[in-house]
Chain A
Amino acid sequence: MAPDDIIKPNKPAANGNHVNRVSARLKEHIVEIISDSGEGAQKCGQSFGSIVARMGHGVWTVEIIPAEIRPPARSVAGASGNRIRIGEKRVTNGGNETDLVVAFNEQVLLGRVRSNELKQGCTILLESMWRDDPNLSIRSSYVETYKQLVAAGYRVYEIPMEEECHKHVTDSRRGKNMFALGMLCSCYSLDLQVARDQVALTFGKKSEKVINTNIELLEAGFAWAEANLDFRYEIPSSKTTEPQIVVNGNTALALGVLASGMEICAMYPITPATSASHYLSDAFEKVGGVVHQAEDEIAACAFAIGASYAGKCTVTITSGPGYSLKQEAIGLAVMGEIPLVVVNVMRGGPSTGQPTKTEQGDLMTTIFGSHGDAPKVVIAPGTIEECFYSVITARKIAETFNMVVVILSDANLATSQAPFTRPSFDEAWLAPPIDQSAVPAGAKPYDWDPKTGLARRFIPGQPGGMHTLTGLAHDVNSHVAYDPEINQQGMRARSLKLAALQKTLLPPTVFGDPTGDLLVIGWGSTKGAIEEAVEEFREEGKRISSLHLTFIQPMPPGIKEILAGFKKIITIENNWSDDPNDEIIDETNRRYSALAMLLRSRYLFDIDCWSECRGTPLKPNTVRRVILEALS
């Protein structure tokens, strides 16, 4: 935490006069860089994140994305940029409020202040050019905001970024971000050479001239901060011995697709899932493979099913509205027992909802979605690293059990970046070759094993395996059947496969002691925030533990025993649940969060829940507050 007392509020000294810089050692800090979209704050933030990672710090970066592609310049809702949390140890989530902001104008800054994303009294490095803007209303808006912020206790440094950049380039819209990057490198005592290397890498595809100009701006920002800023932070780093990769959750998913050996992805563009397919399209050019942009999500899902049916297990990647459209086709894959991997990068719902915001609102839809009983496997990666491995696991399960496997990621994981140990390729990840051997005489296409429900699948091309796969109720020969007994038999087989898979799963591990006063249960992207808060309580000697579920359907064995070890249990989720304190809410009408509902019905424990749908990633502080309330 910022030892605020050592840093005195100060205006930067005039250019050239070196100020006395007070250096503070921190365990962690959260930095934001924001601008109008198109001014390069995103690139600055990403580069800063990479430099920090290279220096051996723990880091978690999150994109700040305006809902519109080109919001008007200088608008409160238009903030675009990055939020970077730096720590001395591994960072598992975006953390709490921001400690230091670089803002290219005061309006985008106001947006962040109003959404309560900034820490009270945090440090602000603000572009000062607006003070002299020819437009009176801009001038006065700037001055007014500046005064308000200072009065509210923010430590605002006015910085002539535009003016300084003009010493190096004519168009400061290109380059101010690198100047800002240089300042940040100085503020956090980062190695300028590592920063230079990173800039060269960031602009690797551009000409040498472009790279050199950007490095020049980086150095200028660095030098300016060294000469004019009166503070500096040092965050200890712990160098890792293993190579790390730094990607966001969507890129991790796409890399997982490559690593799983899948070579077809059928999709239709939708935020926040699309970037996975963008990346995959590019990567497939090198490895071989096809991203098929279908005419809609129904077609994308049906296309994936056709390809899977023909022997190449296929993935379809989407988000809420697209996931809804796929439901009927998903039911077909369940009925026909066609392996299929579906990725749902969840966003705010219902309907078009909040396209760029994060939410965990699709769990029930995923488990129970598609009409009738349509058992499918549901897994939810809790970290960016798990996004990568979940695809490999999903493809394996899909093909072993001839099932639909849905991966639930969300906008939080999709747009966050954090380092994880570089995966080392294992040939066992890949799909086996398509079986084209002749089917033994007398073998049936749905010869369901009476114990596990599993049946060997016949793939087109296999002599002797001819049958017509159908979405209608069918018997072991895939003949349409209306016999009540046969329908019962098919339903049983498709359901038993979940139990068969469940038998292969290991009990989940409790974070903390196996018994205690409170167990917090979560799933998906909230893992880091929940564990961070729980860890803090444990350091304070509280008997609190947490449990994070990756397999949600089927749930692994051993959960009941874990639940039995705690006095109180609560789920914390990023979705809707009624507030029991609302006037007309009581036990007869209270709607619980999705995971709480599932756990309550399965284990018959009185599990409480707390959730919110604010579209922002869960903060450790929020978890802390909820836990304190739960304990009281």
Chain B
Amino acid sequence: MKVATQTISASECLLRMYDEHHEIEDYQKGVPRWCTGCGDNAILTAVQRLCRDEGLLPEKTVFVSGIGCSSRLPHYMNTYGFHGIHGRALPVAEGAKLARPDLDVFVNTGDGDCCSIGAAHWIHAVRYNMDLTMMLHDNQIYGLTKKQASPTSPIGTKSNTTPRGSYLEALNPLTVTLGISNVSFVAQVVDWIPEVLYQVISAAFHHKGFSFIRIVQRCPEWLPKQMDPWMHDPQRVLLLHHENGLEISPALAKVYTKMEEHDPANMNRAREIASSDDPIPVGILYRDDDIPCYEDVRHDSRLRTAEMVKNGLNAELDKFTVWPEGATHA
């Protein structure tokens, strides 16, 4: 048995990547059913652009999601997709990546999906540090189930389960993630600055390891004015830039004048920045390229041939075998 994970060779694969010119339409599928003005649309456009620009082979690309409005994203990608169950996108993606490191695996999840029902998996995914690109579509509300408070809803958010306003302080996904061992990439973006949204997803994709992107995403259906103060006042956005982080275009720099040169290697400063949500920090907060990936740590370079399984099994059976005549087998 030769475990062929590819029938085309690596060089052919490269040839295809460079020869085949991909259009954005090649990655589009169906008509998104999100509400008009929903921030998920911007995220979809950004990942489709990324696939095109990187020339990703649609058959080698997998978008994994959980359940929620945001988790519908894989249906609109003309790649492989896995729209699973609420909260469990990460372990599904991890299994797929471990079995098939040759695939590019993305994860799209919501604030309920990731920070509530799937919180255990989120913590452990950071620690496993598998080479996955995760987008947390954080609209601070449960969208699909029609407006219930989520763990990231700011205190006082009125919802169907908190008619007089939510009772608890919001959970901060950035500080949580920055506190987990093996954290290797943490970024934050907002859906209404497409240029930075694209840049950050692209940087996350190129980062080897688990990239965590919190995307502040508008939900005009349930929280129509939630983001207006930040959207309408560029001074309430803090752009992070650095030679090892984002490069801000002059055009953008004209609008968003509040900037900080932040070295993504600086964990202490990253934690400080993460703790503030006004102005809202946008950019790469933290990056460490040297954390080993779980799939590499667990990778076995031996080709698992039938011969190898046979010999291995027989060697194991030898340990437990009683040979005829009652004698110990040599």
Interface positions of A from 9 to 61, Cβ below 8 Å from B: 50, 53-56
Which residues 76-109 of B have a CB within 8 angstroms of A? Answer: 77-85, 88, 90-100, 102-103
Does any Cβ of B come within 8 Å of A314's Cβ? yes
B254 within 8 A of A: no
Q: How far is the CA of A121 from the CA of B148 in the complex (A)?
A: 69
Interface string of A188-207 (1 = CB under 8 A from B): 00010010010001000000
Instruction: With both chains docked as a complex, state the minimum distance between the C-beta of A581 and any C-beta of chain B, in angstroms.
Output: 45
- The size of the chain B interface, using a CB distance under 8 A, is 69
> Cβ of B82 and Cβ of A243 under 8 Å apart?
no
Given the known interface contacts A243-B321, A480-B75, the answer about A436 and B7 at a Cβ–Cβ threshold of 8 Å is yes
Which residues of the other chain, A, contact B62 by a CB distance below 8 angstroms? 310, 460
Query: Of all chain B residues, which has the CB nearest A239?
Result: B324
Asked if A186 is an interface residue, CB under 8 A from chain B, the answer is: no
Distance of A247 Cα from B318 Cα, bound (Å): 11
Asked whether B121 is an interface residue with its Cβ less than 8 Å from the other chain, the reply is yes
Query: Which residue of A has the minimal Cβ distance to B301?
Result: A288
Contacting residues, chain A, for B300 (C-beta < 8 A): 288-290
Residue in A closest to B312 when the chains form the complex, CB atoms: A287
Known: A304-B95, A310-B103, A430-B306. A468 touches B7 (CB 8 A): no
CB distance from B17 to the nearest CB of A (A): 13
In the complex, what distance in Å separates the CA atom of A469 from the CA atom of B100?
17
Query: Any chain A CB within 8 A of the CB of B313?
Result: yes
* Interface pair A433/B316, CB less than 8 Å apart: no
Contacts of A287 in B (CB 8 A): 304, 308-309, 312-313, 316
What A residues does B83 contact at CB under 8 A? 468-472
Is A266 an interface position by the 8 A CB rule?
Answer: yes
Q: Is the CB of B322 within 8 A of A419?
A: yes
**Bound-state Cα–Cα, A32 to B120, Å:** 44
Q: From A314, A422, A436, A468, give the contact of B99 (CB < 8 A).
A: A314
* Contact B84 A332, beta carbon cutoff 8 Å: yes
Give A433 to B3 CA distance when docked, in angstroms.
5
Question: In the complex, which residue of chain B has the Cβ closest to the Cβ of A436?
Answer: B7
In the complex, whether A437 has a CB less than 8 A from a CB of chain B is yes
Q: Which of A245, A302, A471 contacts B321 (CB 8 A)?
A: A245
Residues of chain A with a CB closer than 8 A to B94's CB: 303, 306
B10 / chain A contacts, CB cutoff of 8 Å: none
Task: Tell me the complex Cα distance, A235–B92, Å.
Answer: 55
**A309 in contact with B96 given A247-B320, A466-B78 (CB within 8 Å):** yes
Cβ A266 vs Cβ B321 within 8 A: no
In residues 304-339 of chain A, which contact B (Cβ within 8 Å)? 304-312, 314, 328-329, 331-332
Question: Are A423 and B95 touching (Cβ within 8 A)?
Answer: no
Distance from B119 Cβ to chain A, minimum over Cβ atoms (Å)? 10
- Point out the residue from B3, B67, B321, B325 that lies within 8 Å of A434, measured CB to CB: B3
Chain A residue numbers with a CB within 8 Å of B8 are 436
Whether B92 pairs with A245 at a CB distance below 8 angstroms is no
Q: Which of B121, B314, B324, B326 contacts A295 (CB 8 A)?
A: B121
- Interface 1/0 per residue, B220-235 and A, CB below 8 Å: 0000000000000000
Ranked 8 nearest A-B pairs via Cβ: A306-B95, A468-B81, A287-B312, A302-B91, A307-B95, A306-B92, A303-B95, A307-B99
27 pairs of residues in contact across A and B, judged by CB atoms under 8 Å: A54-B326, A243-B321, A245-B320, A245-B321, A245-B322, A251-B320, A263-B304, A294-B124, A296-B120, A302-B121, A303-B92, A303-B94, A303-B98, A306-B97, A307-B95, A329-B88, A422-B317, A434-B5, A436-B8, A461-B102, A462-B59, A463-B57, A463-B59, A466-B81, A467-B80, A468-B77, A468-B82
